[in-house]
């Protein structure tokens, strides 16, 4: 009724014909464009429908502005679950955040074939309690005003959190894992809900060490945040190079050794006691003696204690438990995994 008050004519379509005409919403769209002499199309709805609307608009040589429904979790651009592959003005396709750069996009720039529909996520908000006691603590030689640190990957480098509170109030910010080169991450969708919880497959998307040192680290210093720099690599030399460049930061390094080891047929470092110890030992020799080193371990092993002892003996000052648990969700409509990981990953 509201739509009829705003426009001269409303066309209703349903797939079963229970209301209006039977068919897809895109069925009457071509004739409506021609009848009205439309110069642009606006649409919101399921991703497959938006793709079809974009194709109709393209066939009529007019633009289409679409409001995407990519799954959003944090809503502030930190978690990277709502990314969408979009072609920029320079012709290069990049993953952009629907909640920040969107959710309105020009349909012709969205790489629809690289994206699939993902159900929405609803997040609850909780309020914290004021600190009433002395919560100061330390991690090895790293002194903290309180034991609250961000989880790596959940708060990027802290910039997005600063709109809600002073990041210096946190005990520390564990950065999203930094690699030698910029990484676009895995294809979308990257998140799926299950009865047992949420699955995610981000793929270590990040700007790389050069951008981190030029942009993120200076911002953390400017805001008096205590940083724990999480580093990740595909072989031992990458961890060493990252540790050398991060050491002047003055905060701890955390070796994210739950990464594939390209030197050992892609086997995860943290699932191999010898490989894990080799990485920690190499980083320990490289980093300043006063910089604590923590090893982030994977739960996907038969004896995590054995791996922990190996990295401790290799020079780790502490252990970070645990990295993501493996999981699988099957879409019963397509009988395919809800989250697709390419063979290269």
Active-site amino acid positions: 259
Reference 25, options 34, 12, 16; nearest CA is 12
Reference 318, options 87, 138, 171; nearest CA is 138
Distances (CA, A) of 77 to 128, 164, 345: 22, 13, 24
Chain length of the chain: 345
The partner residues of 139 in beta bridges, in order of sequence, read: 142
Distances (CA, A) of 247 to 31, 64, 139, 239, 293: 64, 49, 17, 12, 11
Beta strands (DSSP E) in 62-195 are: 64-67, 83-87, 93-97, 104-106, 137-139, 142-144, 173-174, 191-194
Q: How far out from the chain centre does Cα 95 lie?
A: 10
Phi, psi (deg, nearest 5) at residue 43: -150, 150
C-beta separation of 173 from 149 below 8 A: yes
Decide: residue 51, CB within 10 A, 0-12 exposed, 13-18 middle, 19+ buried: middle
Alpha-carbon distance 178 to 152, whole Å?
Answer: 10
Say which DSSP state 215 is in: I
């Amino acid at each position: 009724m509201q739509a009829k008050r705003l426009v001269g004519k409303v066309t209703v379509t349903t797939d079963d014909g229970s209301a209006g005409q039977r068919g897809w919403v895109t069925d009457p769209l071509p004739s409506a464009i021609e009848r009205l002499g439309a110069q642009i199309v606006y649409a919101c709805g399921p991703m497959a429908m938006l793709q079809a609307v974009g194709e109709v608009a393209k066939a009529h040589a007019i633009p289409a502005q679409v409001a995407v429904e990519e799954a959003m979790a944090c809503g502030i651009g930190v978690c990277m679950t709502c990314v969408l592959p979009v072609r920029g003005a320079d012709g290069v396709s990049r993953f952009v955040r629907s909640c920040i750069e969107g959710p309105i996009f020009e349909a012709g720039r969205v790489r629809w074939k690289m994206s699939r529909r993902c159900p929405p996520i609803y997040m609850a908000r909780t309020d914290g309690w004021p600190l009433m006691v002395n919560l100061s603590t330390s991690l090895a030689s790293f002194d903290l005003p309180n034991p609250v640190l961000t989880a790596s990957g959940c708060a990027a480098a802290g910039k997005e959190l600063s709109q809600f509170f002073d990041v210096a109030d946190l005990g520390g910010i564990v950065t999203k894992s930094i690699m030698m080169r910029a990484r676009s991450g895995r294809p979308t969708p990257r998140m799926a809900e299950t009865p047992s919880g949420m699955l995610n497959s981000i793929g270590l998307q990040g700007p790389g060490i050069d951008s981190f040192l030029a942009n993120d680290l200076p911002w953390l210093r400017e805001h008096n945040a205590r940083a724990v720099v999480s580093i990740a690599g595909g072989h031992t030399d990458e961890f060493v190079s990252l540790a050398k460049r991060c050491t002047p930061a003055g905060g701890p390094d955390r070796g994210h050794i739950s990464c594939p080891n390209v030197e050992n047929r892609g086997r995860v470092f943290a699932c191999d006691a010898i490989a894990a110890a080799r990485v920690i030992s190499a980083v320990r020799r490289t980093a300043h003696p006063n910089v604590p080193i923590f090893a982030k371990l994977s739960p996907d092993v038969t004896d995590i204690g054995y791996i922990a002892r190996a990295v401790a003996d290799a020079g780790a000052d502490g252990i970070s438990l645990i990295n993501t648990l493996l999981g699988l969700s099957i879409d019963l409509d397509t009988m395919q995994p809800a989250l697709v990981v390419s063979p290269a990953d």
